[in-house]
A = this chain, B = another copy of it.
Amino acid sequence: MLNMDLDFIKKLIKPAKTKIVFLVMDGLGGLPNYQTNLTELETANTPNLDLLAKKGICGLQQPVAPGITPGSGPGHLALFGYEPIKYQVGRGVLSALGINFDLKPQDIACRGNFCTVNENGFVTDRRAGRIPTDKNKQLCELLRKIEIPGIDIIIETVKEYRILLVWRGENLSENIIDTDPQEIGKKPLQPKAKSKDAESTAIIVNNFLDKAREKLSEHSPANMILLRGFSKKPNWPSMKESFGLNCAAIAAYPMYKGIAKLLGMNILETGETISEEFSTLEKYWNDYDFFYLHIKKTDSSGEDGLFDKKVSVIEELDTQIPRLTNLNPDVIVVSGDHSTPSLLKYHSWHPVPTILWSKHCRSDKVEKFGERDCICGGLGSRYPSCDLMPLALANAMRLEKFGA
C-alpha cells in the first residue's frame, strides 16, 4: 500500500461543523508492576475512561516504527497525522517555539543545558543539579556578554537547567553535531560540522563555547553548557492547511506548546492542573474545530519511576472525562504520544493504548481501557499512529469518498 500522505488526505477534506478532541496523556503506556502484574493504566480506577472504551473503538498505536522509542516531538507529530520520519524537527526549534520565541527563517536554534564539569573538563552532572530557574536567569545574563563578530547570539532561559540559544547571521548552517556526550564521565564533544557548508558555523559555536567555559568557570554546579538539536524552523503545512481544522492547543509545558505552534494550532492560555485545562476547554469550546489537550504528569511520574503517582494522575484525569462528554464533541481520541513505564523511568517503544469514540465508530468488544484489553480492539494492536487523524476526520464526517 502506498503511504498515506497529507496531500492525499487534503484532496478529500470537506467542510463540517463537527468537533474533535485529542486528549493526550503524555507517556500513557506502561509496564506491569512485578507484584500485581498490572500496568499503571490497568491499575487505575477509571470508570469514565472504561465507559468510553466500551462505547468506542480501541487499539494500541505505534508512533514511529516497531521497536522505536519516540521523543515527544515524533510522538506528537504522529498523533496529529504527520509521519514522524518524514517530518523531523530539531530540539532547538521545539525549545524556541515552546517559550514563544519568534524564530526567523534563517535562524539556527539549539537547546542548551547547564551542566557540571570537573577540573579536568569531564561532565559529572548533565543537568547541573537541576539549578532553579532564577539561577538560570542570572547565568544567561553572563552568557549574553559574550560577543562573536558578525553574528547575534540570542540566549533565553527555558526552565531550571535548560536554555535556548539562537544563532542569527549570514550563511549559518544547522548541520552541527550535539556537544552533549549523553553520559557522565565524558568531556563535552566538539561542535563539529556535519557538512562542508557548516564549517564556519562550527568555528563560531566553538569560539562561543570557549568563552562560555570561561564566564561560567566560577559558577559550579552550572559551570558549563551542553548544546544539542541545532535546527531551523521547518516550513510544514499547518493542520488548517492539511485537514481544514481550526485547531487549539491546551498545554501547560513549553515543549508541547511548541509542537502545537509548529502545526499552526492556536495556543490557549491555561493553568497547570488537569482541572484548569478542562476549564480552558470549556471556555473556548465554541471557537475551534479541534482541541489538543495535553496532560504532562503521566509522563513525568513515569520518568521519576513513581508507579502509584502515575496511577493517580490517570485517575485524576478520569474524573474530568464527564466535563468533556458534557460538551458533546463529535469525536474523542484518548491516547498518549508514547509509553513511559515507571519501571523503566524513561520513554519506551511499547505501543500506546487508544480510544477513538464517535457515534459512528463501530465499537469493538473492549470493555476496559488498558494495554492488554486494547490488543483485541478494532484499531489493531500495533497500528501506525498516523492512522488516527484520518480516522478521526472520517468519524467527524470531514472526508469525501475516494473515487467513483
Complexed CA–CA distance, A31 and B394 (Å):
14
The reply to whether A31 and B403 contact each other, CB–CB distance below 8 Å, is no
The reply to whether B391 and A12 contact each other, CB–CB distance below 8 Å, is no
The reply to whether A69 and B399 contact each other, CB–CB distance below 8 Å, is yes
In the bound complex, residues from chain B placing their C-beta under 8 Å from that of A381 are 59, 364, 377-380
Contact of A67 among B348, B393, B403 (CB under 8 A): B393
Query: Given A344-B360, A381-B378, A383-B382, does the pair A394, B73 have CB atoms closer than 8 Å?
Result: no
Q: Which one of A82-90, A186-194, A265-273 is at the interface?
A: A82-90
Q: Does A74 sit at the interface, judged by CB under 8 A?
A: yes
Q: Does A234 sit at the interface, judged by CB under 8 A?
A: no
Which A residues between 56 and 78 are near B, CB-CB below 8 angstroms?
Answer: 59-60, 64-74
The reply to whether A68 and B362 contact each other, CB–CB distance below 8 Å, is no
Query: Given A71-B401, A377-B375, does the pair A85, B360 have CB atoms closer than 8 Å?
Result: no
Query: Given A8-B85, A363-B32, A382-B379, does the pair A387, B66 have CB atoms closer than 8 Å?
Result: yes
The reply to whether A72 and B404 contact each other, CB–CB distance below 8 Å, is yes
In the bound complex, residues from chain B placing their C-beta under 8 Å from that of A386 are 1
Which A residues between 98 and 112 are near B, CB-CB below 8 angstroms?
Answer: 111
Complexed CA–CA distance, A382 and B362 (Å):
13
Interface on chain A toward B: helix, strand, loop, or mixed SS? loop
Q: Does A390 sit at the interface, judged by CB under 8 A?
A: yes
Q: Does A341 sit at the interface, judged by CB under 8 A?
A: yes
Q: Does A126 sit at the interface, judged by CB under 8 A?
A: no
Contact of A350 among B65, B362, B383 (CB under 8 A): B362
Query: Given A381-B379, A402-B74, does the pair A394, B360 have CB atoms closer than 8 Å?
Result: no
Q: Does A94 sit at the interface, judged by CB under 8 A?
A: yes
Q: Does A321 sit at the interface, judged by CB under 8 A?
A: no
The reply to whether B371 and A403 contact each other, CB–CB distance below 8 Å, is no
User: Which single residue of chain B is at the shortest CB-CB distance from A88?
Assistant: B403
User: Whole-angstrom distance from the CB of A59 to the nearest CB of chain B?
Assistant: 8
In the bound complex, residues from chain B placing their C-beta under 8 Å from that of A363 are 32, 372
User: Which single residue of chain B is at the shortest CB-CB distance from A72?
Assistant: B404
Complexed CA–CA distance, A60 and B377 (Å):
12
Q: Does A336 sit at the interface, judged by CB under 8 A?
A: no
Complexed CA–CA distance, A174 and B30 (Å):
52
- Binary contact track A226-239/B, C-beta < 8 Å → 1, others 0: 00010000000000
Q: Does A240 sit at the interface, judged by CB under 8 A?
A: no
Complexed CA–CA distance, A372 and B388 (Å):
20
Complexed CA–CA distance, A62 and B213 (Å):
55
Q: Does A349 sit at the interface, judged by CB under 8 A?
A: yes
Q: Does A343 sit at the interface, judged by CB under 8 A?
A: yes
Q: Does A3 sit at the interface, judged by CB under 8 A?
A: yes
Q: Does A384 sit at the interface, judged by CB under 8 A?
A: yes
Q: Which of A73, A350, A381 has the most chain B CB atoms closer than 10 A to its own CB?
A: A381
Complexed CA–CA distance, A363 and B370 (Å):
13
